[in-house]
Amino acid sequence: MRIAIVTGASSGIGRAFVRRLDKALVLDEIWLIARREGRLRELSEELRAKGRVVPLDLTQRESVRALQDLLEVEQPRIKALVCAAGFGKFGAAADLTLAETDDMIDLNCRAAAGVTRVCIPYLEPGSQVLEVASCAGFQPLPHMNVYAATKAFLLRYTRALRWELAPRGVKVTAVCPCWVKTEFEQVARDSENGAAVGRCTRLAQSPQTIAAWALTANRLGLAVATCGPLSLAMRAGSKLPSCAVMAAWEGIRRI
């Protein structure tokens, strides 16, 4: 059975990846993973391939084990894996609750690495792996401190994973967009100091653009998909001293 697995499939970038993969690949099933089961069922009804709804809260460790158990039963061939589940919160580290801090690290780091780990045995030559990081991971960002740090972890994890899986013919890409038109900002501002980052999202890209750009980069064998000029500029800027980047960010975030 040929499948694709997409986490964070209920909205935003994950949902865009599902639709793009459904058109681009010949698949028997697409496994849709997220907490919001209703949204997953709606999405499954519009797909060419069978959409298997797998409602899991990946901040919970037992959810990754449940996915591992399902894989062991089904023994699929994973043609594409997209880890798009994640969220951020605006505000200094001291502004965030312990739960917000823990959940960001759990979902953005532990869950992504855990889901990838349990899927690795089912990848084959030609399989695609895309880990949705962020251009925030290129440098430290005050008032997006924890979020940026989690994406730095995912970026470096993915770069090393690419080397590890290359001998098997598996293509691995870290997806590093800048602002995207999703629910991210709404969730990020729902914090004690959500106004710490200004309304600097006017140049946000659509999730469909990000998914298309990222899949093209993966097919070309690129390690990182910057997904646009702003992301590319932030990647280039990360070569500067961190203190200079953070000083520039302090001005930008107040816009």
Q: Which of 109, 13, 15 is nearest to 61 (CA)?
A: 109
* H helix intervals, the chain: 12-24, 37-44, 61-74, 98-105, 112-119, 145-165, 184-189, 207-219, 229-237, 242-252
d(Cα 238, Cα 236) in Å, to the nearest integer? 5
Query: Is 29:49 a contact under the CB 8 Å cutoff?
Result: yes
Domain CATH number, residue 61: 3.40.50.720
Asked whether the beta carbons of 158 and 173 are under 8 A apart, the reply is: yes
* pTM for the full predicted model: 0.93
Q: What is the pLDDT of residues 98-151, one digit of tens each?
A: 999 999 999 999 999 999 999 999 999 999 999 999 999 999 999 999 999 999
Catalytic residue of the set 17, 87, 147, 213: 147
Over residues 54-106, the pLDDT tens digits come to 999 999 999 999 999 999 999 999 999 999 999 999 999 999 999 999 999 99
Q: How far apart are CA 40 and CA 31, in angstroms?
A: 10
Domain of 167 in residue numbering reads as: 2-252
Query: For the CA atoms of 186, 191, 197, 200, what is the dihedral angle to 10 degrees?
Result: 0
Give the model confidence (pLDDT) of 149-181 as tens digits: 999 999 999 999 999 999 999 999 999 998 888
The domain tally of the chain equals: 1
- Residue corresponding to tokens 């500029």: 233
- Asked if 157 is an active-site residue, the reply is no
